[in-house]
Chains A and B, each alone.
Chain A
Amino acid sequence: MRKIGVFICHCGVNIARTVDVERVAETLAGERDVAFATHYQYMCSDPGQNLIKDAIEKYSLDGVVVGCCTPTLHKSTFMNAAQSAGLNKYNVEIANIREQCSWVHKDRNEATHKAISLVKGAVAKISLSEPLYDFETDLNHNALVIGGGIAGMQAALDIADAGYKVYLVEKESSIGGRMAQLDKTFPTLDCSACILTPKTSAVAHHENIELMTYSEVESVDGYVGNFRVKVRRKATFVDWDRCNGCGECLNVCPIRTPSEFQAGIGMRTAIYRPFPQAVPNKVVIDKRPLAPCRFGCPAGVNAQGYVALASQGKFAEALALERKDNPLASICGRICSRPCESQCKRGEFDEPISIRAIKRFISDYEEEIVPPDLPEPKDKKVAIVGAGPSGLSCAYQLARRGFKTVIFDEANRAGGMLVAGIPEFRLSRKAIEKDIEFIKSWGVEFELGRRIEAPERLLAEGFDAVYIATGAHRGNRLGLPGEELDGVMYAIDFLKKINSGERVSIGNNVIVIGGGNSAIDTARAAVRLGAEKVTVVSLHQSFDDMFAYREEIDEAIEEGVEFEFLSMPVRFIGENGKLTGVEFVRVKLGEYSEKWRMREPIPIEGSQFVISADSVLPAIGQRPDLSFIPENSPIEVDHKRGRILVDETTLATSVNGVFAGGDATTGPASAVDAVAAGKKAAESIRRFLEGIDLYEGRTDNIMKVEEVQFPPPYKRQKREKEQFIAPEERIGNFEEVSKGLSEEQVIREAGRCLACGGCVECGECEKVCEPQAIVHDMIDRIVEIDVATIIVATGYDPFDPVKKPELGYEENPNVITGLQFERLVSPSGPTGGEILIDGRTPKKVVLVHCVGSRDATVGNLYCSRVCCMYLMKHAHLIKEHLPKAEITAFYMDIRAFGKGYEEFYDRVRNEGVMFRRGSVSEIYRRGDRTIVRAEDTIAGEVVEVEADLVILGTGVVPRSDVDEIARKLRLPLSQDGFLLEAHPKLRPVDTFSDGIFLAGTAQAPRDIPDTVAHAKAAASSAMGILTQDKIVVAPIVANVDAERCSGCRICEAACEYGANEFDEKAGVMTVNPILCKGCGACATVCPSSAITVNTFKPAQIFKNIDALLR
């Protein structure tokens, strides 16, 4: 028999109103094991506690059950009372008859019955309790503060002033937080920076504070007094020991990306500091995965880089950057298929950047090719077979590395298909010559007019490696009746002739067959030769699905070329050996076919028709001509498809030292693909010649930027249009049709770039950095620190009004957020503190209260507490800057609850700000006006108010990464998504994890004075731990029964805290009571039931349940 005392609390009337406390006490008094039972109005009060103490002594109680409120409130109160009366405090149990009974029930009889059950259950549990004793352990005396805003700084300063070491970890490169972004502070109108900078400076210079900016907490292990924290020191790419904060780099960086500090209404460079007064005054480089344009280029050309340099007028630097990866700047600036532009993120917004036109400009801008500084020559020699884009690219890349290269080509001119297949009106010969000259300037030699047979033999002729890049020069044949007729000429032969200056006679009526670029080129060439009627006949169903580029088609249409779709040639008709027409049949398109590279054309029976013609030029594609590789060659070839077989990664052929790439290995592809292959082969050849592994590191995944933000300052701006020769002036000559962009256009066009990839490693900053602090290959570092206590001061995010599309934030440049207004009115903002919208001074201003607060439509039910006041401050600042401005505030309720706040409200009203009661329902454009629609609920009328500037009183929301913070620190969130405090009234800075405290807006929305107070409270709580000599740990931990433990170690994996430690010698599991949280996860997985948790032993739980159910 136990002697248990039962004490039922009335909690004023909180419990007693619904639960008959007297009856509960009486009923319990008659229970087994109960020696004494009573009730009292406030058991937690001193007289109440004395009641317990006296009873313990008088009845020699060995257990106490208190029926009262939740144990999180007063269990420790009663445990301490019991302990002081000589009873082991772990023999005290709480039956929660308030939150779990009286507050949730109405029926007094049922509630009383339930209360009796709950208390009986507690008695049953405690009847099996045993005395337990706290553990003690040592602790370190350091604190960690996470977040360098006003809360974090204040907490750090308080703790540091008390003489303890503080680590202050901040995600950004500077401390200061949100408060640094504010202009003035309400209601005193102190300049935010002026009251903040003394703090930042104090933090920076405090001997007890170790500042870790641009860093994030990676993980937290351990327990109060002995936390071990891993901190990721993110790579800044700048050696901060060397950086002196001079800011020279900021002047030369060509990248412009939205500034986080300016809340999106200003721009910053890729190498940057958030604001000029940053602490520490150091710069970082914003590096991201590759920009999609750069990623999309097969040759990996740094498109974003040269576009950025071009935007600054640094055309020579831009060209040099381009040429690192592609020597054919002038050629590709004209005819590249532009995979970069199709990936350009700006295209999702309005139109892609005209990257190719910029490339053309920077290349044409160069007046004279400056001889490069040649590298130290190497004694290895490489033969390149084929002077097309792939061969040129390979030779150039090798020459840049000092290898001697010789290019062979059977043609008398270098350029391959670029000269043979592309007419001058698309690609001027001057452009080709320029790139060739540039390649020659690197020492590449050409042996033109020499056909190479069996190229592997070159290895025996003094070459150390060979690259075959012979392209695809053989025209495909239709194989139709009448091909022998005079007037049938394959387009590739036709183009080769006219491109070598031959005048070809084609007559007046010309048919071109095909849907690709060479069909269009052929048709346009025919027009220039004077043909009166040129018809392109293709299998496709419209311009949209033709293979040819749309712009080429459009130019052909301008030049009078006609089109016939869904038609397939059947035979060529002639008289006396001379072509007179072509018979076609209509087709319909079936399913996609690999063979056709389009949906399979199915002839429609009986739909034959004839088009008369003087000549027909089929342009139905080419294939490699591999006649230079003999049948018995050791170089493996797929003769059926006409491809040289190579390894995909290295482009190595079956012969050691012989590589091949470009169209000869893939069939016809684009020029930039050929350039890419050449570059790839050059890398393989270099490795081959230097004896390095051909594969290593080449198949690694390269990341690209997936999401790019288009913040509101970006306005729709169409791409610049190239100048073209008028269509009527194009006939009869082959002059290049496009004249490209002008210098002004290029600067404007390049300025449209969103800089998706951040830093482009153009090297401009390195040139001006005197202390040579730039370190492009820096990597993140993880450091470990030991701390006794942690303060979480991670702050908040402003509500994103994009979530309320009816407010028109995205489309109206004059609808801005509260934080953006702070930047707009701040002297350090993008306008230098002038209130300008689109360069104009607003006359009518509307302030919108409660945007994203108190709003179930966005799931934020709470009041953000600062918006009413900051909007009043904005109204005041506008009045100060623009006394004539008409200001209307639409509000639901005004909350001016702090010291001096109501007075500030009075002041602002007296300044002439109109407050109308009613919440704004929608904001939209009417012509060039912005209309705010709300109901003035006092007047009872719906109003439409015009505004030049609308400030949205955006509320306070949890940080977007709050889940991650919560996960790392194992902290729960409250329903509103902020970090949860241990008790909303009594423990506002504590968490449920001992030693971890909350400060500022990470816990709930609050203004600066409340934040500072909260931070000081958190600091004081943290110091309560730091001042201890020992840490006391409750004994509610798991125990292992060594007799029963089989040593299976399953529990080890179940423990989240690493408390289960295997005793190798004894072959059994042990539990480190300091690390154990008593969660019981190990007990539930133990197959031999060897683990029990103190105060939650199975017998106790079962007896408890039995009693509850009785």
Chain B
Amino acid sequence: MHKLLIKNELLGCIQCGRCSAGCPVSLRTALSPRKLIYKNLRESRKLPKSQDIWSCTTCRTCQQRCPKGVSVMDYIIGLRSYQVERGKIEPTMRDALESILKHGNPWGRPREKRTQWIDDETDVRILSEGEETDVLLYVGCTPAYDPEIQKSARALAKILNDADVDFAIIGNDESCCGNEVKRMGELGLFEMLVEENTALFKKYKFNTMITISPHCYNTFKNEYALDFEVLHYTQFLKKLLDEGKLQISASIDKKVVFHDPCFLGKQNDEYDAPRELLKYLLTDEDNLLEFGRNRERSLCCEGGGGRMWLEVESESPRNAEIRIDDAKSIGAEIVATSCPFCQLTLNDAVKTTKSEDKIRVVDICSLIAENKFEETEMEE
């Protein structure tokens, strides 16, 4: 019996198929968690060599739905890890991992340019060793480097400044959180990142860490052993709002639908904070629409689990495209989200479905910033 089966309680599987039915890519790729498990149960000494596991977005729906407590997603990550150990990994994913090892980010960009998202109008303090701040803003790789997502980082910084929050960032020393590294199966690199990042954070004094990406939030909150509070920025802004430190007045007169990021919703049970923020922004609360597949059923955008660096072959439309079509069909004009990956995949889908004139994908912090500082660059 292979230890991966025991560890993930595969023997408890009753082949009910809830995992495969819940899987967001099971209709567009060959991945079927149930079949994978079944195959492995019949040949319990060795692991299946299926390449389908690379389609997994690690959204965790399979594991959450399982009535018998099988750790389905952990098992798939385990399978990936065995392949990675043998060097069997897609080149694009390998490049991303190598970049993380070398530069601390998956995007192949130099470490020295990590703070280049900060423009002249953005006032951000960079901590030196031993310095103190109330809130540490962990920027994350994608908001630091991606030109589109940099806007979210700047927007959030403006909002925090406006609310008189004492915050700062680490600067160029900040490194990848490792959430995707772990999910691509590179457990060795992940452990190294945990060690290095934990040591890095100890160099500064702060009370709360906030992240822009739910992916970073997830791993810091659940997979590191940190001695400070970690919040996703939507949670933090909601708190500011409740304490009266942040003012948002209703100004958006459009129909908005919120796309729940898997790593914020399904994996960390935060469904309400982003919606509360949106309600404040809308002139009419009724304009906050809902997808049929919302909250616990949110359709994964396929940005997780290393899939940002791997396109899978399929004749079916991408989930992000399905999502944009769904948004159009319910009459939404804005798809709001709160995750850099969701933003990128959904934005792509807007282009591939030629919906630019109908739908806009935007991060909640950018929406708030637009609302507060209309004259700035936020206006598109």
The interface of chain A, by Cβ under 8 A from chain B, is: 541-544, 599, 805-806, 808, 850, 854-857, 892-893, 917-922, 924-927, 931, 933-937, 940, 942-944
Contacts and interface: CB of A to CB of B under 8 A. Distances in A.
A921 B67 contact: no
B16 A919 contact: yes
Interface stretch (B225-233, B293-301, B349-357): B293-301
Nearest to B20: A935
Contacts of B244: 599
Interface in B149-203: none
Contacts of A850: 67
Interface stretch (B27-35, B90-98, B104-112, B115-123): B27-35
B357 to A, nearest CB: 22
Contacts, number: 93
Nearest to A592: B244
Given A933-B22, A934-B17, A942-B26, A924 B293 contact: yes
Interface in B51-102: 61, 64-69
Given A917-B17, A934-B21, 5 more contacts: A544-B249, A926-B292, A927-B329, A942-B23, A942-B26
Contact of A919 (B17, B35, B249, B250): B17
A856 B64 CA distance: 10
Contacts of B250: 544
A937 B67 contact: no
A942 B20 contact: yes
B6 interface: no
30 contacts: A542-B249, A806-B296, A854-B67, A857-B64, A857-B65, A857-B67, A892-B14, A892-B16, A917-B17, A918-B17, A918-B21, A921-B18, A921-B20, A921-B21, A921-B22, A921-B61, A922-B22, A924-B292, A927-B330, A933-B22, A935-B26, A935-B34, A937-B15, A940-B32, A942-B17, A942-B21, A942-B26, A942-B27, A942-B32, A943-B21
9 closest pairs, A vs B, by CB?
A935-B17, A921-B21, A925-B292, A919-B16, A921-B22, A918-B17, A855-B67, A935-B21, A937-B17
B133 interface: no
Interface of B: 14-23, 26-27, 32, 34-35, 61, 64-69, 244, 247, 249-250, 292-293, 295-297, 326, 329-330
Which of B27, B35, B65 neighbours the largest number of chain A CB atoms within 10 Å of its CB? B65
A933 B17 CA distance: 10
Nearest to A849: B16
A805 B18 contact: no
A808 B297 contact: yes
A804 B23 CA distance: 17
A940 B329 CA distance: 30
A929 to B, nearest CB: 9
Contacts of B66: 856-857
B14 to A, nearest CB: 6
Nearest to B295: A805
Contact of A806 (B15, B26, B65): B65
A714 B22 CA distance: 29
Contacts of B292: 924-927, 931
Contacts of A943: 21
Contact of A933 (B15, B21, B249, B329): B21
Contacts of B18: 919-921, 934-935
Contacts of B247: 541-542
Which of A808, A925, A926, A937 neighbours the largest number of chain B CB atoms within 10 Å of its CB? A937
A917 B23 CA distance: 17
Contacts of A805: 295-297
A937 B330 CA distance: 32
A850 B68 CA distance: 12
Nearest to A858: B67
A918 B295 CA distance: 23
A946 to B, nearest CB: 12
Contacts of B293: 922, 924
B270 to A, nearest CB: 14
Nearest to B12: A856
B105 to A, nearest CB: 35
A927 B61 CA distance: 23
Nearest to B63: A857
A1079 to B, nearest CB: 37
Contact of B67 (A856, A922, A935): A856
Nearest to A856: B69
A541 B249 CA distance: 10
Nearest to A541: B247
B295 A922 contact: no
Contacts of B68: 856
Contacts of A935: 17-18, 20-21, 26, 32, 34
A303 B239 CA distance: 35
A806 B297 contact: yes
B65 A921 contact: yes
B328 to A, nearest CB: 11
A806 B21 CA distance: 12
Contacts of A599: 244
A856 B9 CA distance: 13
A199 to B, nearest CB: 37
A892 B65 CA distance: 14
A850 B67 CA distance: 10
Contacts of B27: 942, 944
Contacts of B296: 805-806
B166 to A, nearest CB: 17
Which of B16, B68, B69 neighbours the largest number of chain A CB atoms within 10 Å of its CB? B16
A917 B21 CA distance: 12
A810 B61 CA distance: 20
Contacts of A854: 14, 67
B16 A918 contact: yes
Nearest to A926: B292
A765 B299 CA distance: 53
A372 B330 CA distance: 57
Contacts of A543: 249
B23 A922 contact: no
Nearest to B15: A937
Contacts of B69: 856
A975 to B, nearest CB: 15
A544 B241 CA distance: 14
A893 B330 CA distance: 37
A856 B67 CA distance: 5
A805 B266 CA distance: 11
Contacts of B32: 935, 940, 942
Nearest to A922: B297
Contacts of A921: 17-22, 61, 65
Which of A542, A921, A931 neighbours the largest number of chain B CB atoms within 10 Å of its CB? A921
A19 to B, nearest CB: 29
B265 to A, nearest CB: 11
Contacts of A931: 292
A544 B280 CA distance: 11
Contacts of A925: 292
A934 B20 CA distance: 8
Contacts of A920: 18, 21
A893 B16 CA distance: 9
A745 B229 CA distance: 51
B22 A940 contact: no
Contacts of B14: 854, 892-893
A893 B35 CA distance: 18
Nearest to B70: A856
A927 B290 CA distance: 11
A919 B34 contact: no
Nearest to A923: B297
A649 B293 CA distance: 54
B16 A922 contact: no
A551 B26 CA distance: 51
